[in-house]
C-alpha cells in the first residue's frame, strides 16, 4: 500500500471507532435507563465509559489522519467548504460529548456508592440516569459526529 492508502485506511479506521463507540455507548446507556439496581446501572455506565474511550480515540484518529490527508492530497484544499464545516462541527461535537460524559461519570460514581451501601433502587439515581441535560449533550454530540460522517462521504461542493 502506498502512503495515501495508509492514511485513508487509518482515517477510516478512526471513523469506525468513533461511530462504533457511539453505537455501543448508546446501547449501554439505554440499557442503564431500564435498570433499577445501582450495581447494574454502575456496570452498564462503566461499559459506556469504555465505549467513550473508543469515541475519543476515533475522534483524534479521524482528525489527525484527515488533516494529514488534506495536506497530502493536491485536489483538496484547507478552504474547501466541506472540510471547514467538518472541522467546525468536530470542534463543537467534542466538547458537547465531553460535557455529557462528565455528567454520566458522576452518575456512575453515584450508582457505585449506592451499590456499595446496600444496592437498593433509588429515585435520585433514576433521575440522574435520565438526566435531560446529559441526554441533550450526548445526543447533540452524536448527531454532529454523524454530520461529520456525512460530510466526509459526500463532500458537498467538492469537485470531481
Q: Is residue 159 part of a domain?
A: no
In the predicted model, is pLDDT for residue 159 greater than 70? no
For every residue of 118-154, DSSP letters joined together read T----HHHHHHHT-HHHHHHHHHHHHHHHHHHHHHHH
Counted domains in the chain: 1
pLDDT tens for each residue of 76-117 = 999 999 999 999 999 999 999 999 999 999 999 999 999 999
Question: Rounded to whole angstroms, how far apart are CA atoms 159 and 13?
Answer: 25
Q: Is residue 12 part of a domain?
A: yes
Question: Rounded to whole angstroms, how far apart are CA atoms 37 and 9?
Answer: 42
Q: Is residue 160 part of a domain?
A: no
pLDDT band, residue 158 (cuts 50/70/90) = confident
* Per-residue confidence (pLDDT) for residue 78, from 0 to 100: 92
Neighbours of 139 (CB within 10 A): 13
pLDDT tens for each residue of 108-132 = 999 999 999 999 999 999 999 999 9
pLDDT tens for each residue of 32-69 = 999 999 999 999 999 999 999 999 999 999 999 999 99
Q: Report CA-CA distances (Å) from 38 to 22, 32, 34, 100, 146.
A: 23, 9, 11, 20, 32
* Per-residue confidence (pLDDT) for residue 157, from 0 to 100: 82
Domain extent for 61: 3-154
pLDDT tens for each residue of 9-33 = 999 999 999 999 999 999 999 999 9
Amino acid at each position: 500500500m502506498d502512503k495515501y492508502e495508509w492514511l485513508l485506511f487509518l482515517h477510516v479506521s478512526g471513523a469506525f471507532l468513533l461511530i462504533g463507540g457511539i453505537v455501543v455507548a448508546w446501547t449501554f446507556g439505554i440499557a442503564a435507563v431500564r435498570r433499577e439496581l445501582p450495581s447494574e446501572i454502575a456496570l452498564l455506565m462503566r461499559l459506556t465509559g469504555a465505549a467513550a474511550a473508543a469515541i475519543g480515540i476515533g475522534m483524534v484518529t479521524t482528525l489527525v489522519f484527515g488533516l494529514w490527508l488534506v495536506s497530502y492530497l493536491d485536489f483538496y484544499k484547507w478552504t474547501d467548504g466541506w472540510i471547514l464545516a467538518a472541522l467546525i462541527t468536530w470542534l463543537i461535537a467534542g466538547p458537547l460529548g465531553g460535557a455529557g460524559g462528565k455528567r454520566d461519570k458522576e452518575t456512575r460514581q453515584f450508582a457505585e456508592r449506592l451499590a456499595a451501601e446496600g444496592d437498593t433502587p433509588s429515585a435520585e439515581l433514576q433521575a440522574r440516569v435520565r438526566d435531560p441535560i446529559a441526554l441533550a449533550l450526548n445526543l447533540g454530540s452524536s448527531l454532529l459526529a454523524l454530520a461529520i460522517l456525512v460530510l466526509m462521504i459526500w463532500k458537498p461542493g467538492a469537485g470531481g
